[in-house]
Structure 1
């Protein structure tokens, strides 16, 4: 466990990250979720990460209550990621210890966390599977 406590996000993160634009439609997003089997994507506006969009964000737009009119399915799929993304998101830097990353995931019930460098540029993403891989690797010594 000592090796795990010393390990950082930068050692175990996925460095090649698929992102989406604010203008990506929900239909395109659904296809990406199906094809990639990812839980979330960072949302970019140029070089800036301006939010994240998760499967939960996608599903929220289909949750209705009795006081709300139900739009057509095709109308919902025509909406943009900018309409449903989470603009205020948790991120870590490559030097963040994995123990801290794990605690953030547990506390906030997150499956993936973007990794941004000091200039706030996206350099990776760390997922639960990466944490599990790190735990197994550190346990083997």
Structure 2
């Protein structure tokens, strides 16, 4: 079925008109020796600088989840799968001596069940429905260390959130552990954390909107 064509108005980028600028300037008490065009250019530059400043000022430690679901390196895969299901997470850090040594995710389970042949979830479903047996049975006696992705990509609490986002995008990650200087687990950042924080930075609350005080 063909998709409906999206109305062109829904694709328009939000912009500020000169009328908006005139109305804004009228609300500021006192005399302003500035043209609407200058004001518009100044606002655009200031807005860009503000977003960049806020994005780089937010650190991994500011948004990470501290109560992290994790497993030990020797945890049986049956227990790992059960814990991930109960906690409602799609991936967990793998720990040895309190240090992050890897990460295990749903993708690792899928790949371990069939390698290249069963690399997607639906391929596993098709395999099972084809009466070929459960693809997970060979993993019954394996532990987290056998299928985890290693070494784990990690960040520190001081890593700017913008850099965390780049690391996740470049490596196609859904989460990244936050560790201290010794590699010990402190927290974890998921894509949802970055999206939520980015929306907060780009769409300011009432308390963050610019004030007209001191403008003359």
TM-score, normalised to structure 2's length? 0.59
- Aligned 8 A contact 1:39 1:112 in 2: no
Question: What does residue 171 of structure 2 align with?
Answer: 108
Cα RMSD of the aligned pairs, angstroms, is 2.0
Question: What does residue 43 of structure 1 align with?
Answer: 94
Q: Cα distance 1:73–1:7, how it changes in 2: closer, same or farther (>3 A)?
A: closer
Say if 2:188 is the partner of 1:125. yes
The number of residues matched between the two structures is 138
Moved over 2 A (4+): 70-75
Q: Cα distance 1:64–1:43, how it changes in 2: closer, same or farther (>3 A)?
A: closer
Q: Distance in 2 between matches of 1:90 and 1:61?
A: 20
Question: What does residue 95 of structure 1 align with?
Answer: 158
Moved more, 90-99 or 25-34: 25-34
Name structure 2 gaps, 5 residues minimum: 1-50, 118-132, 209-216
State the structure with more CA Rg: 2
* Cα shift at 1:72: 6.5
Richer in strand (by share):
1
For the residue of structure 1 that corresponds to 2:187, the secondary structure is: strand
* Cα shift at 1:25: 1.6
Q: Cα distance 1:100–1:62, how it changes in 2: closer, same or farther (>3 A)?
A: same
Question: Which string of whole-angstrom CA distances, capped at 9 and with x for unpartnered residues, describes residues 4-34 of structure 1?
Answer: 2221101000011111012212211221222
* Cα shift at 1:131: 0.3
Richer in helix (by share):
2
Higher normalized contact order (CA 8 Å, seq sep 6+, divided by chain length): 1
Instruction: Give the 5 Å matches for 1:1-141.
Output: 1=51, 2-64=53-115, 73-139=136-202, 140=204, 141=208
TM-score, normalised to structure 1's length? 0.87
